[in-house]
Amino acid sequence: MTGAFWPERWEARILLAALVLFPFLGLGTPPLFDLDEGAFTASTTEMFLRGDFLSSYLLGEPRYDKPILIYWLQAASVSLFGHGEFAWRLPSALASAGWILVTYAFVGRVINRSAGLTAALVIATAAGLAVITRAATADALLNLWLACAGYATWLWMQENNRRWLYAAWLAMALGFLTKGPVALAIPGAAMFLWCASLGEWRRFLAWALPVGPILLFLALATPWFVIQTLKEGTGFLAGFFLKHNLSRFDTPMEGHGGNYFYYVPVVLLSLLPHTGLFLAALARLREVWRDTLLRFGLLWFLFAFVLFSFSGTKLPHYVYYGYGGLVIILAALSERPLRRWLALGLAPLMFGLLLLLPALLAGAAGKLKPDDQLLLANLPEAFTPAYWFWCGGALVLSLALLFLRRIDTVRALRVNGLLAGVAMAAFLIPIIGQIQQEPIRNAARLARDYPGNLVLYGLNTPSFQTYAERAVSKDKPQSGDLVLTRESKLAKLPGAQPIYRERGYVLARMP
């Protein structure tokens, strides 16, 4: 790297290094979360059990949801480092580190290095992104490729250097192998809308129809799909492209629905403690639109926001596919005059909510199903003194930063971001994991050495297979099977003998 790449001041260099390493904080602490982390890791586990590293299966059934790249990376990681949470999440953490570094490099190049640090800060420490950047799913990897494709596209437009066009199509090819057509749709739509807004149709066609880059894309992205189709038949193509891509826009899948305003609170909450920058951007939309770079980022974000708002299937992280464009805007505005109360005022609100969270969960417990009430049985013990100390200290410090005007706003933003990122990664996510997933992990580790088939009954927790490192099915339990179920379902298994119980989960032997 040239000297122009790195921040000029040593404290800024330390901050950049900390942000790049941030996805590794607490990486191996929480248990794997069901459903998503459990499904991905259980599918990779099944590759080892089946001896088949071309096709993905989940609990004995074909899993046509996602392409192969993330499974290969997870398989390589656990082969090197063992079947622990750190290894399962390592590919996502590495991808996220790359996403943070690429974002810093791009924004630092097209705006300035201070803005680059702010863009990296948002990705590393925003509440919602703190979850997705260390999750053992395909999304961190996809966000890396989307960022690379979008940023390379802009550099190609500005510098007219064909290497950036190849880089964009290379990133889209890897994104296609990670999560399918969305890796083409979002960069393509951002480019199309930007060119349409300026009447630059020839430029769009030059981006969309370059022979060499398209051949590179086809050479990388298509061989696995061809091999998989020959191996699995046309059912794979129908399952992948029709059901798990197109059908997601028609009807909610796996209960993941929502109204047209679903992503409004998602964006506002996921960006905490940096939501004030987003609100500032809303107040300056005309200014954003007049800047061609910021317009590109805005159209990138808006396409993802609108596309998934009208999709039948909604999950919070879908809108993050537009954050590669959004952080350009937030970073640029951080370098311009901002109302201090708007930029910094939501950080104390976030820390206050974290302090109230245990009481809010306790208050909501009475409205939950009996099994889930049992899951919250040790709620007070889960929130340790360290949690209260960190969140309480962060609240006091964020309030001080709000009123101490001798500390400039950008520096205060960075402190708030680091405080929030640590609160999420080192405290809140592990606590939620302990509450939600610890009984499943404990039951699976016990079941690992017990004889009999393993069966899930009345629940969908594929992480049970990941931790047991044995085949698990959802078939009707038979004599001699070892069954993981909930307390409320145990009565439907006459004669089942519990061998392990913990907070509403039961591991039982069928008679």
What is the token pair recorded at 215? 């051949």
What would the mean pLDDT of 1-19 be, rounded to a whole number?
80
Supply angle C-alpha 167, 171, 175, rounded to 5: 170
> Which backbone phi and psi does 393 adopt, to 5 degrees?
-65, -40
Which DSSP category does 191 fall into?
A: H
Of 135, 143, 132, which Cα lies nearest the Cα of 178?
A: 143
User: pLDDT tens, 199-218?
Assistant: 999 999 999 999 999 999 99
**Is residue 461 pLDDT above 60, yes or no?**
yes
Arithmetic mean of pLDDT over the chain: 93
Q: What is the pTM of this model?
A: 0.94
List, for residues 175-192, the tens digit of each pLDDT value. 999 999 999 999 999 999
Note whether 436 and 410 are within 8 A (CB): no
**What pLDDT is stored for residue 365 in this prediction?**
86
Q: Name which of 151, 76, 81 is nearest 120 in CA terms.
A: 151
SS3 469: coil
Q: What is the sign of the dihedral through the CA atoms of 212, 218, 219 and 220? A: positive
**Domain boundaries along the sequence of the chain:** 10-30+64-336, 345-441, 446-509
Is the pLDDT confidence value at 251 over 60? no
Neighbour tally for 93: CB within 10 Å: 23
pLDDT confidence band for 378 (50 / 70 / 90): confident
Q: Summarize the confidence of residues 394-409 as an average pLDDT.
A: 95
Largest Cα–Cα distance of the chain, in whole Å?
A: 73
pLDDT grade for 249, boundaries at 50, 70 and 90: low
474-495 pLDDT, tens digit per residue, is: 999 999 999 999 999 999 999 9
Region label for 452, one of left (φ > 0), alpha (ψ between -120 and 50) or beta (otherwise): left
Helix or strand holding residue 412 (H, E): helix 409-422
Helix 85-110 and helix 69-81: axis angle, to 10°? 120
Number of neighbours of residue 35 by Cβ within 10 angstroms: 15
Collapsing DSSP to helix, strand or coil, 473 comes out as strand
pLDDT, tens digit, 9 for 90 and up, residues 156-167: 999 999 999 999
Q: How confident is the model at residue 241 (pLDDT cuts 50, 70, 90)?
A: low
Task: Write out the H or E segment, with its range, that includes residue 342.
Answer: helix 340-344
CA distance 317 to 311: 13
What is the residue type of 481? D
Per-residue model confidence (pLDDT) at position 238: 72
pLDDT, position 301 = 98
Res. 1: pLDDT tops 50: no
Q: How far apart are CA 165 and CA 437, in angstroms?
A: 44
3-state secondary structure of 509: strand
Rounded CA-CA distance 329/347 in Å is: 19
Place of tokens 């209960």: 255
Q: What pLDDT is recorded for position 66?
A: 85
Contact indicator for 156, 207 with CB cutoff of 8 Å: yes
Packed helices 69-81 and 162-179: angle between N→C axes, nearest 10 degrees: 80
**In terms of Cα–Cα distance, which of 249, 278, 292 is closest to 343?**
278
